[in-house]
């Protein structure tokens, strides 16, 4: 392995990185297949390449690779035998801690002989390089890679949902038949029930494992953003006020990885533009960062007390608009000379062009009744009289409605009610 091979791997399109990595390692470490599990690739955290060691139609699974993670040092390797595609084979596992949740690469080898130390070190260095490269693409929300990732994520999510529904329905039907007491052969039935239950548990575990790799809690995403900004603003003597999200701002909501990465990259770019690109007329001494997850988008705000000369052109020079466009996001710049600038960023939670989920499904029956009257412009007193409840109860329901829908006013809630048909004709 040499630097030329490393450059070839890094320059490859996202979908070709694993095959080229396999080719670069093949001469020093012969293998028949590779598999990786990493959190810095939102569209496909689990990937394989090569010929599975099992029989025709077999495949290396996420569960098999994930089982090797706790057995391998966070930044190290493991050689030995493991079960891949249902059969026991010699493997080399490379692990790196260059991402928050780690990344592992498994080579299904053609022999049991230990890999020489010099080849092992080179392989680990190349895996570190590939991981760091992907992490940079994700963290900086590089527009081209972002657009490809989002498109692939949409197709992948639809396929996973269809497969999950199909497997779940089949296994549930199988359980129903096998639990039928009128059937003979109790032992066979009990064994089949155990197999079906185990398959359902594994199916759910697979979904949960996948979700953990490609989603991030909103409050955790904000903390990572704040940590990345603290040092930059502290060196300039700028005060950083953080609107850390709470329950009302959707702190516990899960964000797709590409949304969280894009929002962080864009907010950082806006902050740097606010500090560097406003020319003469006053310095920025205070920055406020806000973060709120609504029904269908993440909204971030950056507000400064500078000269108010920040323009959209300044932000475009830092690829802010380009990054947002890849996910169908929007940007608003409100600059008031002498008073400061407020930049509002909106990033959709789902891929562009996908059907929006009905936001009203989070409301209970009574809340929907209150919302219908609210959408008709009725006051709390009138709603209380109509529904035979107290006015304080109406206020309680209205507050819950605004929080669940992620809106800030009765008017916004009413608009959603009209949009999604919550009002009678």
- Model confidence pLDDT, tens digit, residues 120-132: 999 999 998 888 8
Residue 299 belongs to domain with CATH number: 3.30.565.10
Please write the tens of the pLDDT for every residue from 302-353: 999 989 888 888 898 888 888 888 788 899 999 888 889 999 999 998 765 4
Residue range(s) defining the domain that contains residue 225: 217-348
**Is 353 inside a domain boundary?**
no
Task: Give the separation between CA 20 and CA 12, rounded to whole angstroms.
Answer: 8
Whether residues 134 and 9 fall in one domain: yes
- Phi/psi region, residue 344 (left: phi>0; alpha: psi -120 to 50; beta: rest), is beta
Tell me the pLDDT band of 32, cut-offs 50, 70 and 90: very high
Taking the whole predicted model, whether its pTM rises above 0.75 is answered as no
In the predicted structure, residue 421 carries a pLDDT above the cut 70? no
In the predicted structure, residue 150 carries a pLDDT above the cut 60? no
Q: Could you tell me which of 265, 276, 285, 270 has the C-alpha nearest to residue 225?
A: 265
Whether residues 318 and 221 fall in one domain: yes
Whether residues 164 and 289 fall in one domain: no
CA angle 388, 393, 394 (to 5 degrees): 80
Whether residues 103 and 199 fall in one domain: no
Range in 22-31, 165-174, 214-223, 244-253 the model is least confident about: 165-174
Task: Give the separation between CA 222 and CA 243, rounded to whole angstroms.
Answer: 9
What are the structure tokens assigned to 67, written together? 């089982």
Tell me the pLDDT band of 30, cut-offs 50, 70 and 90: very high
In the predicted structure, residue 143 carries a pLDDT above the cut 70? no
- Number of compact structural domains in the chain: 4
What are the structure tokens assigned to 9, written together? 């791997």
Please write the tens of the pLDDT for every residue from 171-209: 665 666 666 666 667 766 676 667 666 666 666 666 555
Whether residues 19 and 131 fall in one domain: yes
Whether residues 177 and 54 fall in one domain: no
Residues 6 or more apart whose Cβ sits within 8 Å of residue 95 = 69, 72, 73, 74, 75, 76, 77, 78, 102, 103, 104, 105
What are the structure tokens assigned to 130, written together? 């590939």
Given 348, 381, 407, which residue is the final one in a domain? 348
Please name the residue that has the structure tokens 């992907």.
134
What are the structure tokens assigned to 148, written together? 């490809």
Task: Give the separation between CA 161 and CA 150, rounded to whole angstroms.
Answer: 16
CB-facing half-sphere around the CA of 147: CA atoms within 13 A: 8
Q: Could you tell me which of 132, 130, 91 has the C-alpha nearest to residue 12?
A: 130
């Amino acid at each position: 392995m040499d630097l030329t091979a490393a450059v070839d791997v890094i320059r490859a399109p996202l979908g070709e990185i694993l095959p080229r990595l396999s080719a670069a390692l093949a001469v020093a470490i012969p293998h028949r297949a590779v598999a990786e599990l990493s959190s810095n690739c939102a569209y496909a955290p689990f990937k394989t390449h090569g010929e599975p060691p099992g029989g025709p139609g077999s495949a290396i699974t996420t569960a098999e690779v994930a089982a090797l993670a706790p057995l391998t040092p966070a930044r190290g390797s493991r050689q030995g035998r493991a079960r891949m595609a249902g059969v026991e084979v010699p493997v080399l596992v490379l692990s790196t801690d260059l991402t928050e949740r780690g990344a592992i690469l498994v080579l299904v080898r053609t022999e049991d002989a230990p890999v020489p130390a010099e080849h092992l070190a080179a392989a680990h260095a190349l895996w570190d390089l590939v991981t760091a490269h992907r992490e940079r693409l994700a963290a900086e929300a590089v527009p081209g890679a972002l657009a490809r990732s989002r498109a692939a994520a949409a197709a992948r999510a639809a396929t996973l949902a269809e497969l999950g529904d199909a497997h779940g329905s089949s296994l549930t039907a199988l359980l129903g038949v096998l639990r039928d007491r009128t059937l003979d052969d109790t032992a066979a039935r009990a064994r089949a029930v155990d197999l079906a239950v185990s398959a359902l548990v594994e199916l759910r575990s697979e979904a949960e494992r996948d979700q953990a790799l490609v989603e991030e809690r909103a409050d955790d995403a904000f903390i990572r953003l704040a940590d990345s900004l603290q040092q930059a603003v502290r060196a300039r003597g700028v005060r950083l006020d953080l609107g850390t999200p709470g329950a009302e701002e959707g702190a516990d909501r899960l964000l797709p990885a590409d949304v969280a990465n894009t929002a962080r990259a864009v907010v950082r770019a806006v902050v740097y533009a606010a500090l560097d690109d406003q020319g003469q007329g006053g310095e920025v001494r205070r920055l406020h960062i806000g973060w709120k997850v609504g029904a269908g988008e993440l909204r971030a705000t950056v507000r400064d007390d500078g000269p108010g000369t920040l323009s959209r052109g300044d932000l475009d020079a830092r690829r802010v608009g380009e990054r947002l466009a890849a996910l169908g996001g929007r940007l608003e710049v409100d600059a008031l000379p002498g008073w400061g600038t407020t930049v509002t960023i909106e990033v959709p939670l789902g891929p562009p062009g996908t059907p929006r989920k009905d936001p009203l499904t989070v409301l209970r029956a009574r809340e929907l009744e209150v919302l219908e009257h609210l959408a008709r412009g009725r006051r709390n007193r009138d709603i209380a009289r109509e529904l035979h409840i107290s006015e304080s109860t109406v206020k309680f329901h209205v507050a819950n409605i605004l929080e669940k829908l992620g809106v800030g006013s009765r008017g916004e809630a009413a608009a959603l009610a009209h949009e999604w048909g919550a009002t009678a004709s």
